[in-house]
Structure 1
Amino acid sequence: MPLHIETPLIVSRPLSLRTGKQVWLKLDALQPPGSFKLRGIGLACETQAARGKRRFVSSSGGNAGIAVAYAGRELGIPVTVVVPETTTAHARHLIAQEGATLVVHGASWQEANAQAQSLLDADTAFIHPFDDPLLWTGHATLIDEAVRSGARFDAVVVAVGGGGLMSGVIEGLRRNGLGRLPVVTVETHGADSLAQAVRAGERVTLDAIRSVATSLGAKQVCEQAFALARSHDVRCHVVTDGAALDACAKFLEDHRLLVEPACGAALAAAYEADAPALAGIEAPLIVVCGGATATLDQLAAWRAALPPAACPATP
């Protein structure tokens, strides 16, 4: 049995009424560690354990680290997770709660990742948070489940950080004969490395992450994600931090689930007035990727820190 669970797929009545579309929600916030990350990371950890590795090391902004820590505990393998200084206190607590050794290093994921690489030896497997074919294959099970359920959707909406979820979704669409369906990718301003790369025609590296959606905080998307953005119908959309936070609050009210700003970015595609990201789409499947790194107090603090102009009221 895989480490991840099959999560509910529902039609959102509030978002369907709001958009005039049939909005499907794949509720991966309900995975045991709180996010979709367990799908791919669970597969990677199981594969590395079968290869004889006796320790896992990962770098993470939060959710990947929680998933590796969970997988390691389930498999009886020790885990070390290196996180950047921007990782929330709550995320650090959840990683440690799973029994992993936590190391805080650097101002961004890139610095944390370099530190994680220095901890490797012959008995240790590095579990990348987004750039590994095993991860994409694991994340693709999300689409397998949606198709198996009989859901009729005509696009998939995903948040993008490093591009692992997007890569898995497209792999899942293609292996289920749905390669023609568009994928709407959503990022926040200040963490929009994919949108900037698509505009530039080449992968770009952000000089810094300037967004509260720190789970989207990869300064550069992986090569696979950029290649897929050029070979698949990928539609980039960027929202403000305020819109992402507003979506988190409204989603909690509508569906009783607390998600973090990275997930709120994807939900904002439907909560935005007139939902421009969904133009021409009648039945979007939104991946509620989850995220255990935020609390109500943290969401309120992030919103309070934003300038008023960054917090548009959503009608």
Structure 2
Amino acid sequence: MVQLEDIIRARGRIMNIAKKTPIIKSHQLSDRVGAQVFLKSEHLQTTGSFKIRGATNRVMQAKEEGARLVTAASSGNHGQAVAYIANQLDIPATIVVPTDANESKVNAIREYHGAIDYCGTTSAERIPRAITLAEELNGVFIPPYDHPDIIAGQGTVGLEILEQIENVDTVIVPVGGGGLSSGVLTAIKEKKPNIRVVGVEPELGHDTKISLEKGEVTSVSGTDQTIADGLRTTQPGDLTFPILQKYMDDLVLVSEDDIRYAMSFVMERMKQLIEPSSATTVAAAMFEKINLSHENVVCIISGGNVDLSKLDHLLVKTVE
């Protein structure tokens, strides 16, 4: 299991690539929730999401191990991150993306000189394809979440939160495969165990919720239907799940309408364009999925890579 020391080492390794992202606060959002709400702004991160943290940590070590090519399976953000850091290190990268991938994310991968391979609509289809390509091309597969280096890299988000905000009561983190959430949990719970950490999933992508209820990794279908495309995993990772079981205080679900409203609110009131996956944390706070009264609350905004051609489908009216 990943330890706090692994996250601290990862921070030193990635510090010249991954930014220390800012904290943003909205008085309107705080008033709406009845708490002091802060946004940890990973949508302003290099490549537009937190994924650069774990990808950089893993690809750097893969290069040290002699890798001459890397592959990844991604709905977009992980692929962008792997392509970016591989390009920085002069390593070819092939990214396996879903057939319905966000076009802006695919274009970004290409701009980072990553080769594109389309396969299916779920991580259960993409990951085996990326592993096969790595084997065929004598490369190294860079997992999207289920690897100690990935988890440790993502955990650096948690270290920054503890440094940037005093007296944090609750951290809300989006949950897909569990790389971000397990890393943040490890960083926060091993330094300040009294801080509550709550995960959030879309109702149409609740594989971790089901897995936690059953006490074992459980696969679900239909996750490709949620607009939160970064959270379309079919099951949590074998490495991430035990960490979620050990440390996560609660996990809540939000509807597609909740996600659209939260995304629209942040764009209209805060002038920040965030992804639907990011908006899940704001939605959980706004729609009272968690009791947050008078707390200091951090919503982790995981990314901001939105296909602008689909904004009319994603946004809703927030003022009557």
TM-score of the pair, normalised by structure 2: 0.89
Map 1:158-307 → 2, pairs under 5 A: 158-175=173-190, 177-209=191-223, 210-272=225-287, 275-279=288-292, 282-292=295-305, 294-302=306-314
Q: CA deviation at 1:313?
A: 6.8
Structure 2: distance between partners of 1:179 and 1:218: 28
Structure 1: distance between partners of 2:39 and 2:165: 14
Which residue does the alignment assign to 2:3? none
Q: CA deviation at 1:280?
A: 5.7
Tell me which moved more, 4-13 or 240-249: 4-13
Query: Relative to structure 1, is the Cα distance of residues 43 and 260 closer, same or farther in structure 2, using a 3 angstrom cutoff?
Result: same
The Cα offsets for residues 156-177 of structure 1, whole Å up to 9 and x where unpaired, read as: 10111101110110111134x2
Which residue does the alignment assign to 1:24? 38
Structure 1: distance between partners of 2:173 and 2:133: 32
2:102–2:307 contact (8 Å) kept in structure 1: no
Which residue does the alignment assign to 1:124? 139
Structure 2: distance between partners of 1:174 and 1:48: 28
Structure 2: distance between partners of 1:151 and 1:69: 35
1:115 aligns with 2:115: no
1:186–1:238 contact (8 Å) kept in structure 2: yes
Tell me which moved more, 121-130 or 236-245: 121-130
Structure 1: distance between partners of 2:111 and 2:80: 9
1:135 aligns with 2:147: no
Q: Could you say what secondary structure the match of 1:276 adopts?
A: coil
The Cα offsets for residues 122-145 of structure 1, whole Å up to 9 and x where unpaired, read as: 852211111111111111111212
Query: Relative to structure 1, is the Cα distance of residues 54 and 155 closer, same or farther in structure 2, using a 3 angstrom cutoff?
Result: same
- % same residue: 29
Structure 2: distance between partners of 1:227 and 1:85: 31
Query: Relative to structure 1, is the Cα distance of residues 247 and 314 closer, same or farther in structure 2, using a 3 angstrom cutoff?
Result: farther
Structure 2: distance between partners of 1:44 and 1:218: 20
Tell me which moved more, 183-192 or 222-231: 222-231
1:160–1:194 contact (8 Å) kept in structure 2: yes
Q: CA deviation at 1:297?
A: 3.2
Tell me which moved more, 189-198 or 119-128: 119-128
Structure 2: distance between partners of 1:73 and 1:277: 41
Q: CA deviation at 1:222?
A: 1.0
Q: Could you say what secondary structure the match of 2:259 adopts?
A: helix
Structure 2: distance between partners of 1:120 and 1:233: 33
Letter in 2 for 1:258: L
Structure 1: distance between partners of 2:285 and 2:273: 17
Q: CA deviation at 1:91?
A: 1.6
Q: CA deviation at 1:312?
A: 9.9
The number of equivalent residue pairs is 304
Tell me which moved more, 64-73 or 3-12: 3-12
Structure 1: distance between partners of 2:30 and 2:75: 32
Q: CA deviation at 1:281?
A: 6.8
TM-score of the pair, normalised by structure 1: 0.90
* Bigger proportion of residues as helix: 2
Structure 1: distance between partners of 2:237 and 2:203: 19
1:14 aligns with 2:28: yes
The Cα offsets for residues 69-113 of structure 1, whole Å up to 9 and x where unpaired, read as: 111111121110001113122221111111100010113121111
Query: Relative to structure 1, is the Cα distance of residues 66 and 60 closer, same or farther in structure 2, using a 3 angstrom cutoff?
Result: same
Structure 1: distance between partners of 2:205 and 2:166: 31
2:146–2:179 contact (8 Å) kept in structure 1: yes
Letter in 1 for 2:258: A
Q: Could you say what secondary structure the match of 1:33 adopts?
A: helix
Q: Where in structure 1 are there 5+ consecutive unaligned residues?
A: 304-310
Which residue does the alignment assign to 2:10? none
